[in-house]
Structure 1
């Protein structure tokens, strides 16, 4: 019985009584070098071509895995971005309401949420014996407060709202840890030089590591400044010097006259590292240290 087996160097015709195609293919794979001679490959050229094809397959596999990982990062970053916007908005609304009741309470966000969630109104704060959460200063402020009283329903709403915000903030922490881990796996070179938040924003703005790797440094420089760029092209306003890379201290802490030059420099380094991460995935320690040194000089 004649069978035709597809190989990387061509089609092989073999005659076997065996009907199990897997067994036939295993046998043929063991004889690849002999069959390849019919297609002009000697032992040396066969090994050279085989090596090339193995490397190409490995690169394809790396890029496929990168595509899967960066899609997950983009999803996670999109959710995180929405959660941050929502938690900030909800916290502002919570403060607006609670300040009418207790305007003298001025503490940082996490502690404020804990106190509202645990105690609600001023009376509960005054009756508390938990010195860990309620200091004498807070009790004194509550005792002399000029705020209005809360109804029972209002207290329940504010406590539930603070609880919801705490849950959202906890989810933000989980997403941040997930992104940190995945960014480190996907971009070992980029994330060794730049923090995971900036790298995730770059991947999100570019719509994937592949597009970031193929983007010219001039585009990377203004990623995130699309509105300003549109205004420049449409109305002749000054062109943007930088986009989201401005948040990096190398640019942010520079004098205004140096920011354009530094933005171009940083964008060129991001382009190089993104290409290495996308096309090879290999960690280039010498290059990482060189770029870090150049940034810190």
Structure 2
């Protein structure tokens, strides 16, 4: 914004401050003055002066105002319009000059400017540009501009409000059930990648000793379980229950179990040292346990999705629904999205590639 405000609003943990600005004809001049005086409080005081200050009554009032400005989360009884808190409206009406038609007030946030406009405060509001530079200087020198306030009180107020505001944010996030869904689906996707990678590694490793097993049992989980059960194919005769254990792993398929045992006896794989077998067994056990955990996690996601978004789960399935929630950031955000946005969630790369090449996406 090129216009120079007459006043700027500064929100501090102890209250609202209205800062009066020395008159400048051009916005470029005040930016130069602020930049030149930012390190010298005496020079900065010649440009900006404290016109009015309204302290908060207590920490609860400070938290209400902070929430009203940042998120709009406060008691409707204290809310006049949008994000504009009643305390702020009253402060501006009592502190600004009566003739407000040509008055320009600078605020730090565009949303706050919009809500003050909706509240009909009767003044012109600007933000960004010059206002940002001015408020940067006010933030640095506020303790000197507000001389009646002790420095330790300012620091304590900031610390107290910061803790209260953060505590409220954390509690708010904890009660969001969709957070668990978002984290779980991200973990599920990572587990899928890891299991595929580790499954390929155990196949390559154990195939030196028993290369035929991969063609007989392509399933990664069953392959890892069989690798742990068989281990050294030259010592299979020592385990009397080996065939029954293999049959159980293969879901009762006795013919396939017999093929596995017969192929192990006639395998053309190389002999392998006991130390190598120990490491193969440990790694295969980890792959199998990861796969089992992945199955339990999938059931957990189904339960959570049926709990927090049953309609979405019934419509498109638990995993796809969970991925949509993850891409949107929350179930609330997903519900607010238009159909055109939901359509491209997770397919942004394909969309932009199709737009760039001007061809149909697959």
**TM-score in terms of structure 2 length:** 0.46
Aligned residue among 190, 206, 211 for 1:103: 211
Pick closer, same or farther for the CA change 1:226–1:214 going to 2, 3 Å: same
Aligned to 2:53: none
Deviation at 1:225, TM superposition (A): 1.3
Deviation at 1:183, TM superposition (A): 0.5
Q: Is the 8 A contact 1:202 1:223 kept in 2?
A: yes
Aligned to 1:93: 201
Instruction: Name the structure where helix makes up a greater proportion of residues.
Output: 1
- What is the Cα-based RMSD across aligned positions, in Å? 2.5
C-alpha distance in 2 between matches for 1:78 and 1:192: 21
Question: How do 1:111-122 residues align onto structure 2 when only pairs under 5 Å count?
Answer: 111-122=222-233
Aligned residue among 215, 228, 244 for 1:132: 244
Q: Output one character per residue of 1:79-118: Cα deviation in whole Å (capped at 9) or x when no partner.
A: 1111111011001110011112111112133332222112
Matched, 1:188 2:310: yes
Bigger radius of gyration: 2
Matched, 1:238 2:349: no
* SS of residue matched to 1:68: coil
Aligned to 2:331: 209
C-alpha distance in 1 between matches for 2:329 and 2:360: 23
Q: Is the 8 A contact 1:87 1:169 kept in 2?
A: yes
Pick closer, same or farther for the CA change 1:8–1:116 going to 2, 3 Å: closer
Task: Give the aligned length.
Answer: 182
Question: How do 1:45-194 residues align onto structure 2 when only pairs under 5 Å count?
Answer: 68-105=176-213, 106-107=216-217, 108-130=219-241, 131-134=243-246, 135-194=257-316
Instruction: Name the structure where strand makes up a greater proportion of residues.
Output: 2
Question: How do 1:5-44 residues align onto structure 2 when only pairs under 5 Å count?
Answer: none
Q: Is the 8 A contact 2:221 2:291 kept in 1?
A: no
Q: Is the 8 A contact 2:202 2:224 kept in 1?
A: no
* SS of residue matched to 2:176: helix
For structure 1, the 5+ residue unaligned runs are 1-5, 11-63, 242-297
For structure 2, the 5+ residue unaligned runs are 1-60, 62-74, 79-171, 247-256
Q: Output one character per residue of 1:156-211: Cα deviation in whole Å (capped at 9) or x when no partner.
A: 11100111111211221221122111111111211122221111111112222122
**TM-score in terms of structure 1 length:** 0.56
Deviation at 1:126, TM superposition (A): 4.1
Deviation at 1:236, TM superposition (A): 2.7
C-alpha distance in 2 between matches for 1:193 and 1:176: 18
C-alpha distance in 1 between matches for 2:178 and 2:237: 51
C-alpha distance in 2 between matches for 1:223 and 1:114: 38
